Structure 1
Amino acid sequence: MSVFHRSRKAGVLGAIAIAGASALILAGCSGGGSGSESSAAPSENVDLSLKIGTILPQTGTLAFLGPPEEAGVGLAAQDINDAAVGITIPDIIWGDSGDTDNKAYATTIQKLISEGVSAAIGAASSGVTKLFLDDAVAAGIITFSPANTSLDFTNWDDNNLYWRTAPSDTLQGEVLGNLVAEDGHENVAVLYQNDSYGTGLNKVFQDTFTGAGGKIVAEQSYNTGDTTFDAQLSALLASNPDAIVLITFDQIYTIGPALLAAGYPAKNLYLVDGNLKNFGSDAKWPAGVSMEGAKGTTPAGPSTPKDFQSRLNTYWTGEGNTALTDFSYSNESYDAVVLLALASLAANSTDPADIASKLQEVSGGSGDGKKCTSFKECADIILGGGVADYDGFSGPITFDEHGDPTEATVGIFQYGADNLNKRIDQ
């Protein structure tokens, strides 16, 4: 396991990640924040009914992330209700975030605000969250994303109402840069989406890769909504790179096959969380186009236990949906809901500001909490007058004062002959 220690002010890591090792990222020192040293439960607890909604991608360029994220949310709510400890999530108000092009988020966020939710789970896209976050903050509700990775949220003026279980792109960019360098590549080209996600991840990747001795021989970008990439791909190929990094969303369906048709070897392609799909089970991927050997990174948390995957699928198919084949951000979505419920229990309140005041504490970011790994276990600690420190499926989490997780795992995946990606770092 390669462990990287960094702070928000730290320079780019010079160390190269060991190929095939789990990349556990420890970001900064936790501390401060609004959590108290003790979350001793009030002498009289009230029955809490926690109202949450989702603003996750059912449509748009990240729609493939919607099912595992919604499954994580739904299963967590089920587990919280089954625990029967005085807090319930009676109904989830499901909503579509869409993307920056179809703008489904605009209707959804207003619906969640009007419904009086304590928290909105989402969005997946950093660019989408930026477009509604100020409205959510003004309405006084928590926005809790399981997948936002943009660096911009760290210092957002959010009145302590924005939180995320996904690590920032600082972490994924470092792992990706070290992976490409450790794989022996020296001259790399990059194609990235020109938005907060793409530009931020591209910068950290390049800083890390060049810091490890590599050279960027070409850099091309495109705008959200673009459908043709001929000029960019021609420029990338003309630079004769020994690897190409693709920081995209659904545009991978056009870009990937085009590069492979031009004779570029799949084994020298590197993907990221926005496009790391299981192409072998995807009807949109052209038949006969092989991604075998390509690699990618995603803030995936520790490898999802098989029994947890089974439980996610049992819940998801029980709701009338097709079985999950991709579990991206299901861990982070599950943990987001559990943390909200624990914070609500610790605050003895469903008021968003009260919940937010306890989120850092129940994650282990403040106070001297007792480690626990399930909602029921943590809830019993809180109800017994103690301080709970939840370690979930996405990792230890440990929020800092900005609502960022300071301990997170970025997974490394590789495609096989079946065009499905498999985790190789654990």
Structure 2
Amino acid sequence: MRTTRVLPLLAALLSGCSLTTAGGLSECETNADCNSDQVCTNNFCLPQPTGCGTRYGDLTSPDAVQIGAVLPLSLSATDPSQGKDASEEQGLNAILLALDEINQRGAAGRRITLNLCDTAADIARTRQQTEWLVNDKKIAALLTAGSNQTLAAAEVTLAKGVLTMSSTATSPELTSRESNTSLGLLWRTAPSDAIQGNVIADLLLSDPRFTAVKKVGILYLDDQYGQGLFNVITEKLGTSTSKQFRATAYARKTGNIASPMKQIDDFDPDLTVVVGFEDDVSRIIESAQAFDNLKAASGHRWFFTDSVKDAALLDDSTVLAAIQNSFGTAPAQGAGQAFNAFQSRFRSKYNDVDPSNYSFTSHSYDSMYLLGLAVAYAQGQGGQVTGLKMAEGLTQVSSLGAAVQMTSSAFGQLSGELASGRSINVEGASGSLQFDEAGEAPSPIELWQVQGSNFVTVDTLSGG
């Protein structure tokens, strides 16, 4: 009788399952055997985090190296009607271009699968997705975007030995974030805002284009990115006797901007530096039309930081008219053959979109290529391709001697050198990739200006 009672329960547990050849229970062999919101993990259909599931690259090789990416592609985690972040989409396109070029050649015999998660710029969602990528997809490395997200993801990846590479995280806080190993696992192709912030302050203090500016307003996003630039800029402006400044923070996306903008308007600045993202800045510029001291007619000028350089900023005629001749800064794109080849191939693949109209596209391209080189190094050393081995490989790409332009045609040579244990010196599409001990590469800063309906680079300044 006892056995009979167990049989219905056992039958229920076995529903939808099949016996494996080893005699164990199995629900699935591939994701196609599971529901659309599940993934096949160790032969069981398990829930997949919201925003995850898209895969690129090699989807068939059983030994493909698994790489993850957590990118804020959607503008809202709850409202799909808000659409996508155009700048992040172009960054992803740059990553995918590099991934295709790498897989055409192989990284010392290995190919790569990219497991993509859309974070919608939600920090809790970023952590959950990163945990899933690390624990369930067994990724060796993770691509991230943005300072907040990179720091959140690093809380998961560093303890698990997963290499983390960001194309757009610029907060100075990343420099001091250490892993629990002697070998750094946190890298970025984007330069620290300690560089950009100093350039902005120097421009305002001593560049002839800003001689007439005596009062500087600073409106900054209240997160690690905004606070980082705020601290660097105001520290330097605070030493000046010729400039006054007033700074106030605002909240991302849905936060009330009326109060901080009134504070800036009451200060009556000659120029306001806005630290934020394109969608926030668009609504700030629109709202500024209600403040007399923030209008161009009153002599007020705007100055923007890197994340504002997004073609979407130029779509609204009201915004475009209000920001004519405004300046901004961003890490400079490369100037050599690596950048020229990247720009040409990007335009050819993506309907003639110019990657120069967005910040960090070349940095995104280089990030994926660096992971490909790191895979080649780890593969060449024998054994499993791990985050630690890949990080070790990245320490070998900044040797002395003549730099080699990191183009698709040069990848085979460069990856072969690394796989053989020989160091290389590479110049990427974003410029020099001479990484220091903190896993950062230097970068010049471009000064751009809104002219007509375009972003025009008017100067390139030393980031030293």
CA RMSD of aligned residues (A): 2.8
Q: Which of 275, 280, 298 in structure 2 is aligned with 1:251?
A: 280
Counterpart position of 2:141: 119
Q: Which residue of 2 aligns with 1:332?
A: 363
How far residue 174 of structure 1 moved from its aligned partner, in angstroms, is 0.9
Higher relative contact order (CA 8 A, sep 6+): 1
The answer to whether residue 103 in structure 2 is matched with residue 70 in structure 1 is no
Matched residue, 2:203: 179
Query: Cα distance, 1:192 vs. partner?
Result: 1.0
Q: Is the 8 A contact 1:267 1:292 kept in 2?
A: no
For 1:11-22, what aligned pairs fall within 5 Å after superposition? Answer: none
Q: Deviations over 1:370-419 (max 9, x none)?
A: 521122342243356632111111111211222122x212221110122x
How many Å separate the matches in 2 of 1:368 and 1:323? 32
Letter in 2 for 1:127: N
Aligned to 1:153: 174
Is the Cα contact below 8 Å between 1:146 and 1:332 reproduced in 2? yes
Report the residue type matching 2:65 in the other structure: L
Q: 1:175, CA displacement in angstroms?
A: 1.2
Q: Which moved more, 1:333-342 or 1:286-295?
A: 286-295
What's the secondary structure of 1:331's corresponding residue? Answer: helix
Determine if the alignment matches structure 1 residue 402 to structure 2 residue 426. no
Kept in 2, the 8 Å contact 1:117–1:141? The answer is: yes
The alpha-carbon distance between structure 1 residues 64 and 241, as it changes in their structure 2 partners (threshold 3 A), is same
Q: Distance in 2 between matches of 1:371 and 1:127?
A: 33
Q: Cα deviation per residue 1:164-187 (whole Å; 9 max; x = unaligned)?
A: 111111001011112223121222
Q: Determine if the alignment matches structure 1 residue 311 to structure 2 residue 311.
A: no
Counterpart of 1:239 in structure 2 is 267
One-letter amino acid matched to 1:297: T
Q: Which residue of 2 aligns with 1:53?
A: 68
- Mapped to 1, the partners of 2:204 and 2:164 lie a distance apart of 34
| 1:162 paired residue among 186, 191, 199 | 186
Match of 1:342 among 364, 369, 373: 373
- Measure how far apart 1:286 and its partner are: 4.5
Does the CA-based 8 Å contact 1:267-1:293 persist in structure 2? no
Q: State the 1:323 CA deviation.
A: 8.0
Please name the residue that 2:247 is paired with: 219
1:53/1:94 contact within 8 Å kept: yes
CA deviation profile, 1:115-136 (whole Å, cap 9, x unmatched): 11111111x2211222221111
SS in 2 for 1:228: coil
Q: Aligned with 2:322: secondary structure?
A: coil
Alignment check: 8 A CA contact 2:282 2:313 kept: no
Look up the equivalent residue of 2:281 and give its one-letter code: I
Q: Give distance in 1, aligned partners of 2:319 and 2:443.
A: 36
Letter in 2 for 1:151: P
Contact 2:307 2:359 (C-alpha < 8 Å) held by counterparts: no
Residue 64 (structure 1) shift:
3.1
Normalising by the residue count of structure 2, what TM-score does the alignment of the two structures yield? 0.72
- The answer for the alignment partner of 1:355 in structure 2 is 390
Secondary structure of the residue aligned to 2:237 is: helix
Please list the CA deviations of residues 334-357 of structure 1 after superposition, one character each: whole Å capped at 9, or x if unmatched: 111222222232232521111111
Cα distance in 2 for partners of 1:339, 1:261 equals: 47
Counterpart for residue 8 of structure 1: none
For the structure 1 residues 156 and 393, does the alpha-carbon distance in structure 2 shift closer, same or farther, using more than 3 Å as the test?
Answer: same
CA contact (8 A) 1:126 1:150 kept: yes
Q: Which moved more, 1:387-396 or 1:299-308?
A: 299-308
SS at match of 1:328: coil
Looking at structure 2, the residues matched to 334 and 389 of structure 1 have their Cα atoms a distance apart, in angstroms, of: 17
1:296-334 alpha-carbon deviations (Å, 9 max, x no partner): 11123335845422312333459xxx8867332111111
Pair 1:193 & 2:221 matched: yes
Distance in 1 between the 2:244 and 2:255 partners?
25
Structure 1 Cα separation of the partners of residues 217 and 357 of structure 2: 28
Q: Which of 118, 125, 129 is matched with 1:96 structurally? A: 118
Is the 8 Å Cα contact of residues 270 and 300 (structure 2) preserved in structure 1? no
CA distance in 2, matches of 1:149, 1:288: 26
Secondary structure of the residue aligned to 1:422 is strand
Give unmatched runs, 5+ long, in structure 1. 1-46
Structure 2, unaligned stretches of length 5 or more? 1-61, 77-83
SS in 2 for 1:95: strand
Q: CA deviation at 1:360?
A: 2.1
Specify the alignment match of 1:297 in structure 2: 329
Amino acid at match of 1:166: A
Distance 1:330 1:238, change over 3 A: same
Give matches, 1:388-399, under 5 Å. 388-399=424-435
Identity %: 23
Counterparts of 2:356 and 2:369 in 1: how far apart (Å)? Answer: 23
| More helix as a share of residues | 2
Distance 1:93 1:230, change over 3 A: same
Matched-pair contact (CA < 8 Å) for 1:80–1:87: no
- Who is 2:23 aligned against? none
- Do 1:396 and 1:408's aligned partners in 2 also have CA atoms closer than 8 Å? yes
Q: TM-score, normalised by structure 1?
A: 0.78
Q: Cα–Cα, structure 1 residues 104 and 289, in superposed 2: closer, same or farther, change >3 Å?
A: farther
Aligned length, in residue pairs: 369
